[in-house]
Chain A
Amino acid sequence: MTQEKKPLIRFDVQKCAFCKICELSCSKYHYGKYGDALSRITIVRKSPLMLRSLICTRCDKRFCIPACPTKALSYKGGNIVVDEKLCNSCGDCVKACPFHGIRLHPETKMPLICDLCDGDPSCVKACPKSALTLVWLPEGGK
């Protein structure tokens, strides 16, 4: 029996240099322009040594899906998928995500959630310090 796996973009705090090239390459890939408000990954720095990456972790609980009042979110092929016809831009998914992995597009107000760029994440490719890696974890495991 093969166990189902889920993707994770793993973050190495020691390697990250806080250049935010990941954010720029994310917005470039999805929208053809550069802007951190359009990025599905955000790096936050509290001190030179304290950094966090905010991105959809595909957590087991998937808090965002039941939080959506219009049932616009579903989990398919390792990604949280937004049905833009059903979404009413209420932002409840943003609030429900304890990992701060969702934000709303500044203009369309649609949720921005990591979609792995068709399986080849541009942030991982662009990171000059190899601080981001795509790994596949067993569902329900650690």
Chain B
Amino acid sequence: MINMRYSGYKGKILRVNLTNKKSSTLEVTDEFARRYLGGNGFAARYVFDMVNPRMDAFDPTNVVAMMTGPFQGINIPTAGKYYMATKSPLTNGYFDSVSGGHIGAQIKYAGYDGILIAGRADKPTYLFVEDGKVEFRSAERLWGKLTGETQEAIKEEAGDPSLCISAIGPAGENCVRYACVITEYRAAGRGGVGAVMGSKNLKAVAVRGSGSNQVADPAKFEEWINWYNAEAKKIPAIATGLPTYGTPVLVASINNMFGAMGTRNHQGEFFEGWEGISGETLKKSYWTKDTACPACPIACSKVFTVKEGKWKGAVSEGPEYETVYAFGSMCGISDSGALIKTDSLCDEWGLDTISYGVMVAFMTECYQRGLITKENTEGVEFNFGNDDVLVNYVERTAKRIGIGDLMAEGSLRAARVIGGDSERFAIQVKGLEVPGHSARALRGMALGYSTATRGGSHHDPRPTGEYAGASDRKAIDGKAAWVIGTQQMTTIGDSLVQCHFLERLLGFTLTQKYVDMINPVTGFGYTFNELVDIAERILDLERAFNVMTGIRRKDDTLPRRFLEEPIPEGPSKGMHTDEPTLNRMLDEFYGIKGWDKRTGIPTREKLVRMGLEDVATVLESL
């Protein structure tokens, strides 16, 4: 056992090589923990050090990082999560995806701060990790199975109904570029981490630990918990909105108040059929029960059941708001039943719901414009509002059947095959399909998506502060500083591996309140400036990795549709961020970041200030 000065850490990382079935451990020093915090920070450093950015994401040398932060396995609200990172087959850049699930705590209890997986197994394999031991078990009889069946089969084999498992579905096995990883019923959804697992012949990771985790200062921690309990009650979103309706509570306000809900592949941003897919409708007609991520009192996850109609019998945990947008307004579908059915299918087959829904919307617009025809789609009519397409193409995409093979490539790659003018309306940034927070109605999201490590992700920049009015959603000046603040906040959240839903309580950008939460748990005694530097260090490392894949300022942009076509109707009619405006904000952004304005590459001066001199040297050798 490694003794660390700081709490919340086990002091070691499990390293696994699937090619030669060998494992070893990597020490986490006090200094490393203090500099990189956990989850996002640890993985950004490991991936930068271990993965060749120019290598294909499906090359065996790519690494899948499964990480925890100091908060896993203790009773802290909204930290019942785990963190995955890899070089993405969708964006080709550094990519991370955070998911709810009890496996994060189990990794800690098993004695590790994380697991790094490299190589490629010669046959389908799953990892069984228990209290410092790792076994490479055969997954041959699990190959081809859905994520639910897979988890049940592994639990049965282990004789442990509580065993925690993260698994891929057939989509991951077939390297669908936006295949997800499912733990219980939650998804590490985005960027194709599941596809990288599939390329490694890795079906699942099961973890069980009999250890524990503890905090540095129990009295101060209890004080913080009491503060949380008192203050959280005063925030309507945390106290009632999310517990009652879950994230679909956003539908009514984003659609009706802001007119910012991408509709029919963003040909509009107001969906006239919103009532059928609103949080209120889901609660009234489909809600069956609340579920929660571990240790979370909010319980924003909802189990929905379709009780009548065409999709009767479908049950799913979710859809979440983003899925309602991707399957609903984006595909022109106002029947929640179809959304619930497709949500459960995506979880089972292992597809990211956001990318899949936006992909269907993109193909539908291509069909509408005659860029693809019935000849390409085996006679199926890809029309907006056709819920059979949405439901049926989950399996066809996961198995890469017919046009599903092209849909498995993501909208950017598909647009390059389809041609015409289709790339203009492929709703993606850096290859990642954009979620349900408008880049046209929210100025911060225009700059945020453009500059995010992952591209079209709502968990790099955050939209919440602009909805809440904490930052004027139309403002241009000063927006760069705001966006940088939100990106710093999410980076710290992803390093603690904690949900961003406490942002209304702790701050939309980094604040002293985050410091006050971290110090009692870890004993770091951070100052606010130290925490900001950690976030910047991690973001610069991610950027450096992306720079080495070829990313430059020219790639920090939006789909042409967003730059050139204002929102045609609704409360945000006429809004968008055109290219000159984006460039103005980018200049300001790079200036504050200390990135070169011409290239978008972090300067040596900035990297040295972040203690990343080695990274500066690597970048200069390009």
> Which residues from chain B contact A48 at a C-beta distance below 8 Å?
185, 288-289, 291, 303, 315, 317
Asked if B214 and A34 sit within 8 Å, CB to CB, the answer is yes
Q: How far apart are the CA atoms of A22 and B209 in the complex, in Å?
A: 18
Interface set, chain A 27-42, CB cutoff 8 A to B: 27-28, 31-38, 42
The secondary structure that dominates the B interface is: loop
Tell me whether B517 is interfacial, beta carbon within 8 Å: no
Tell me whether B481 is interfacial, beta carbon within 8 Å: no
Q: How far apart are the CA atoms of A106 and B110 in the complex, in Å?
A: 12
> Which residues from chain B contact A19 at a C-beta distance below 8 Å?
80, 292-297, 299
Chain B window 252-267, contacts with chain A (Cβ cutoff 8 Å), 1 for yes, 0 for no: 0000000000000000
* Min C-beta distance of A38 to chain B, whole Å: 6
Asked if A42 and B162 sit within 8 Å, CB to CB, the answer is yes
Q: How far apart are the CA atoms of A37 and B108 in the complex, in Å?
A: 12
Tell me whether B102 is interfacial, beta carbon within 8 Å: yes
- Chain A residue with the shortest CB-CB distance to B214: A33
Asked if A20 and B102 sit within 8 Å, CB to CB, the answer is yes
Q: How far apart are the CA atoms of A38 and B211 in the complex, in Å?
A: 8
- Chain B residue with the shortest CB-CB distance to A35: B212
Tell me whether B184 is interfacial, beta carbon within 8 Å: yes
Asked if B210 and A35 sit within 8 Å, CB to CB, the answer is yes
Tell me whether B464 is interfacial, beta carbon within 8 Å: no
- Chain B residue with the shortest CB-CB distance to A27: B212
* Min C-beta distance of A117 to chain B, whole Å: 15
Tell me whether B511 is interfacial, beta carbon within 8 Å: no
Interface set, chain B 211-265, CB cutoff 8 A to A: 211-214, 218
Tell me whether A86 is interfacial, beta carbon within 8 Å: no
Asked if B73 and A49 sit within 8 Å, CB to CB, the answer is no
> Which residues from chain A contact B296 at a C-beta distance below 8 Å?
19
Contact A18/B74 with A32-B218, A48-B315 known, Cβ cut-off 8 Å: no
Q: How far apart are the CA atoms of A36 and B164 in the complex, in Å?
A: 12
From B75, B218, B291, contact of A18 by CB (8 A): B291
Q: How far apart are the CA atoms of A119 and B560 in the complex, in Å?
A: 65
From A18, A25, A33, A44, contact of B161 by CB (8 A): A44
Asked if B74 and A128 sit within 8 Å, CB to CB, the answer is no
* Min C-beta distance of B231 to chain A, whole Å: 15
From B75, B212, B297, B317, contact of A38 by CB (8 A): B212
Interface set, chain A 73-108, CB cutoff 8 A to B: 106
- Chain A residue with the shortest CB-CB distance to B109: A35
Asked if B73 and A34 sit within 8 Å, CB to CB, the answer is yes
B-binding residues in A (CB < 8 A): 14, 17-21, 24-25, 27-28, 31-38, 42, 44-46, 48-49, 106, 126, 128-129
Known contacts A19-B292, A48-B185, then 18 further A-B pairs from the complex at CB < 8 Å, ordered by chain A residue: A17-B289, A17-B292, A18-B292, A19-B80, A19-B296, A19-B299, A21-B75, A24-B74, A27-B212, A28-B75, A31-B212, A33-B212, A33-B213, A35-B211, A44-B162, A48-B289, A48-B291, A128-B299
Closest 3 CB pairs of A and B: A35-B212, A128-B297, A106-B210
In the complex, 26 of the A-B residue pairs with CB atoms within 8 angstroms, ordered by the A residue number, are A18-B291, A19-B296, A19-B299, A20-B80, A20-B102, A24-B295, A27-B212, A31-B212, A32-B214, A32-B218, A33-B212, A33-B213, A34-B73, A34-B75, A34-B212, A35-B213, A36-B105, A37-B210, A37-B212, A38-B212, A42-B162, A48-B291, A48-B317, A49-B303, A128-B297, A129-B292
